[in-house]
Amino acid sequence: MNPVMELGDYLWMTFAAFLTLATFSFLYKDNPLYKIAEHLVVGVSAGYFVIILYYGSLKTQLVEKLYDGQMVYLIPLILGVLMWTRFSKKLAWVSRYPIAIYIGIATGLAIPLEMQTKVTEQLQAMMVELHWGNLFDGGLLNYTNSFASLIIIIGSLAALIYFYFSKEHKGWFGGVATVGIWTLMLGFGASFGFTVMARISLLINRVQFLDQWRITSVGSAHQEGSGSYTAVYILILVGIFGLLAFDLIRTKGKTDTDLT
Amino acid sequence: MTLQSRTSRNAFWPGFRLAVYGMMFGIVFSSSAVLSQEATAEVDNASTMLAPMLAPAAPGNVTVEDAPNDAGHAVIVTFSQSQAPADGQALVLGYEIYRSLARSGPWKKVGAVPSDVDVTASLIYKDAGGSDKSSDDYLPTETDLFYRVRAVTADSTLYSDSEVSAPAQAVGQWWNSGRNPVFFFVLFFTLLTLYFLRVAKQRGDSLYIRPLAGIDAVDEAIGRATEMGKPILYVLGLGTASDIATIASFTILGRVARKVAEYQTDVIVPCYDPIVFTIAQETVRTGYMDAGRPDAYRDDQVYFVTQAQFAYVAAVNGTILRDRPATNIYLGKFYAESLILAETGAIAGSIQIAGTDEIAQLPFFVVACDYTLIGEELYAASAYLGREPLLLGALKAQDYAKAVIVVLAILGVIMSGLGYEGFAKAFEAVG
């Protein structure tokens, strides 16, 4: 069914499994294994993103455009070079200009977009949400349709009132604001549950990977060709748990301050 | 009793058998009838298939006009469909749109539209090309374009072409009228802000803003860090410098840096984005200068980590556990890392103040942090902290804009409910 994995592939798989376990060891506490995983991932990703940045942005958005003769791209090039003046104490002030231009343009672009997506579109959607005629269905309240819309509208307006900062939350105003914060918290609760489900699925994925690594290493009655690397598997597990046990004994009774 | 029942059974069986035979006959007969019908239909189909088919009628009235409210690389093609197929004519399945820079061609197929059941209805196709000259879908601006529509059938050899359209040009517009509602809102908000800036300047910092628990806690947290002799960790999140939440966070960082410099404690700012890192460095340095302690500022207080989300989280988690900051402040744009950071901070025993406008992440901060600034509270925090007329005026303007929005929403709901959809339509932004 599953051919014996090549040693090279198996070693990469083992390395990934080792890093997974090293990262999970953070659940115990900060330890040398976690530090190895942390420094490795930070270093590798920083280097990786330099390359991504060059090929994904600099090359396609600047170098190739300049080669095509689109000289307008000299402006961002100059602004980018000016950022490097930060390395000189005398000229560091020059780097404020590209920053100011960047922030100005970014804000200018963001404001109309935010106004459209977070104000006008939502306002318009709220206005057409409710159909009064459908509020009752056969003399009964239509819970699934129009009544739900009514709840959404009341909740949205109350939440908006919660974010009114010029008046203290007292009296009727405070009451409406309380409805607003309750609406928000209900939304947060639903969102929390939904996201936790997604995180659990990520955990399951990692656990399945570790299980696959175990099967590849020590074998399974249901999978032919697996189980050729039992020694490596045992060595890694003993190494990881041995190191954690040693760390536990070494730091027993010591406070964090003693260790740092 | 036994005899009676035997007799009745004998009387039952012949009738039952007859019914079964009748049923079987009925089934066989009806099956053969269906089969014979199918066979006839097959013969009919075969005769139809064998009959020579004619090309469909050509589509007509191809008109082309510039697509409104764009940068000038799109046109709208309108045409009337082919007439209903007459005897022997193939059925039209759809229409292919062809474009050329000259009336005589060469023609390039740019899209297709399925035919409508109602053949009297005109069809519309928007030919939206790209602006990159080297790209295949480049559509030149301010150049004569000719269009032709082809009615296609199941048989690729049977089709009909329309007449070539009159030339039309794609032209860019300076003003996107589809976004007029956005413009009016921005204009209204700008005027409101200018008015309240004037008021704030006249009245100083006496304008009322309700207390924000999370922000009140900032000064207290800085004091705690000073007493404990431990640093403050300030995380700007994963946003870029163009995110409003990050921009709001810069303002608060400036304030925190000034306080930190005054109290002679330390602030650590690990950054995810290189541009954010540069601005954060500048902000912290300015904060120290404002506090009159530029000598206390060190460049390594604000540092770039990496642009990989979880690598960044791993690094910040390490910092939290090793440096044990007294206070962790997470203000800005956060994604999946929010709970990981906040949980680690809680394990480390730090006071935690968080704020973001990412709705999906707010629940995690609410759960794991001591104080959380929800959405717009983050924007308000900078004004509340600084008490500067400029920021106070802007915050007041926001509040009044919100009041107007609430009134408009209530009016809109009532009007739409009563059937006046035009009121809601006035707020619709297109494009």
Alpha-carbon span A69 to A73, nearest angstrom: 9
Q: How far is CA B425 from the centre of its chain?
A: 20
The residue type at A56 = G
The residue type at B222 = I
Check: CB of residue B81 under 8 Å from CB of residue B183.
no
Residues in chain B: 431
Residue A1 confidence (pLDDT): 40
In DSSP notation, B359-381 reads TTTHHHHHHH-SEEEETHHHHHH
Alpha-carbon span A135 to A128, nearest angstrom: 14
Most confidently modeled of A126-140, B3-17, B223-237? B223-237
Neighboring chain B residues of A170 at a CB cutoff of 8 Å? none
Residue A5 has pLDDT above 80, yes or no: no
Q: What is the mean pLDDT of residues B241-269?
A: 89
Please name the residues between 207 and 236 in chain A that touch chain B, using a CB distance below 8 Å.
Answer: none
Check: CB of residue A216 under 8 Å from CB of residue A13.
yes
Check: CB of residue B313 under 8 Å from CB of residue B340.
yes
A110 contact B CB<8A = yes
Residue A212 makes CB contacts below 8 A (sequence gap 6+) with A13
Neighboring chain A residues of B408 at a CB cutoff of 8 Å? 123
Q: What is the mean pLDDT of residues A186-215?
A: 89
A256 — pLDDT class (breaks 50, 70, 90): low
Residue A184 confidence (pLDDT): 92
Residue A260 confidence (pLDDT): 46
Chain B: closest CA distance from residue A12 (Å): 19
What are the residues facing B123 on neighbouring strands? B79
Q: How far is CA B327 from the centre of its chain?
A: 35
Neighboring chain A residues of B135 at a CB cutoff of 8 Å? none
- The 10s digit of each residue's pLDDT in A163-186 is 998 888 889 999 999 999 999 999
**Residue B247 CB coordination number (10 Å):** 19
Better-predicted residue by pLDDT, B54 or B341: B341
Residue of B nearest to A94 (CA): B282
Residue A176 confidence (pLDDT): 94
In DSSP notation, A152-194 reads HHHHHHHHHHHT--SS-S-HHHHHHHHHHHHHHHHHHHHHHHH
Using the structure block, give the residue that is written with the tokens 């995810």. Answer: B272
DSSP state of B427: T
The three-state secondary structure class of A1 is coil
What six digits make up the tokens of B104? 């005589």
Check: CB of residue A188 under 8 Å from CB of residue B362.
yes
A254 — pLDDT class (breaks 50, 70, 90): low
Report the range of poorest mean pLDDT among A208-217, A246-255, B84-93.
Answer: A246-255
> What is chain A's mean pLDDT, rounded?
83
The answer to whether domain B60-161 and domain B207-387 are alike in fold is no
Residue A161 confidence (pLDDT): 92
Give me the residue spans of the domains in chain B.
Answer: 60-161, 207-387
Q: Look at B307 and A163 and tell me if their CB atoms are within 8 Å.
A: no
Residue B232 has pLDDT above 90, yes or no: yes
Residue of B nearest to A152 (CA): B413
Share of chain A above pLDDT 70, in %: 85
Q: What is the mean pLDDT of residues B381-401?
A: 82
The sheet carrying B60-66 orders its strands as B60-66, B74-80, B122-128
Q: What is the mean pLDDT of residues A10-37?
A: 87
- The 10s digit of each residue's pLDDT in A90-105 is 888 898 899 889 888 8
Q: What is the mean pLDDT of residues A121-138?
A: 76
DSSP state of B54: B
Residue A3 confidence (pLDDT): 53
pTM greater than 0.90:
no
Better-predicted residue by pLDDT, A38 or A223: A38
Q: Which of B232, B240, B369 is nearest to B307 (CA)?
A: B240
Residue B324, phi-psi category: left (phi > 0), alpha (psi -120 to 50), beta (remainder): left
Residue B46 has pLDDT above 50, yes or no: no
The correct CATH number of B207-387 out of 3.40.640.10, 3.30.1360.70, 3.40.30.10, 3.40.50.720 is 3.40.50.720
Residue B144 makes CB contacts below 8 A (sequence gap 6+) with B101, B167, B168, B169
- The 10s digit of each residue's pLDDT in A27-61 is 887 888 888 998 999 999 989 988 988 998 899 98
Better-predicted residue by pLDDT, A90 or A252: A90
B356 — pLDDT class (breaks 50, 70, 90): very high
Alpha-carbon span B171 to B198, nearest angstrom: 42
CATH topology of domain B60-161: Immunoglobulin-like (2.60.40)
Q: Look at B324 and A123 and tell me if their CB atoms are within 8 Å.
A: no
Chain B: closest CA distance from residue A194 (Å): 9
A149 — pLDDT class (breaks 50, 70, 90): confident
Residue B178 makes CB contacts below 8 A (sequence gap 6+) with B68, B69, B429, B430, B431
- The 10s digit of each residue's pLDDT in B128-163 is 888 877 777 888 888 899 999 999 988 888 888 888
A81 contact B CB<8A = no
Alpha-carbon span A102 to A114, nearest angstrom: 18
Residue B30 has pLDDT above 50, yes or no: no
Q: What is the mean pLDDT of residues B157-182?
A: 88
**Residue A183 CB coordination number (10 Å):** 19
Q: Which of B97, B86, B155 is nearest to B119 (CA)?
A: B86
Q: What is the mean pLDDT of residues A19-31?
A: 86
Better-predicted residue by pLDDT, B223 or A219: B223
Q: What is the mean pLDDT of residues B385-414?
A: 87
Residue B419, phi-psi category: left (phi > 0), alpha (psi -120 to 50), beta (remainder): left
Alpha-carbon span B379 to B187, nearest angstrom: 20
Using the structure block, give the residue that is written with the tokens 């640093």. Answer: B231
The residue type at B75 = V
A184 contact B CB<8A = yes
Residue B411 confidence (pLDDT): 92
Query: ipTM of this model?
Result: 0.77
Residue B422 confidence (pLDDT): 85
B188 — pLDDT class (breaks 50, 70, 90): very high
Alpha-carbon span B234 to B221, nearest angstrom: 12
Check: CB of residue B359 under 8 Å from CB of residue A187.
yes
Most confidently modeled of A86-90, A220-224, B268-272? B268-272
Q: How far is CA B45 from the centre of its chain?
A: 50
DSSP state of B60: E
Residue B56 confidence (pLDDT): 86
Neighboring chain B residues of A256 at a CB cutoff of 8 Å? 324
Residue A136 confidence (pLDDT): 67
Please name the residues between 119 and 178 in chain A that touch chain B, using a CB distance below 8 Å.
Answer: 119-121, 123-124, 126-132, 153, 156-157, 160-161, 163-169
Rg for chain B, CA atoms, rounded: 37
Better-predicted residue by pLDDT, B221 or B431: B221
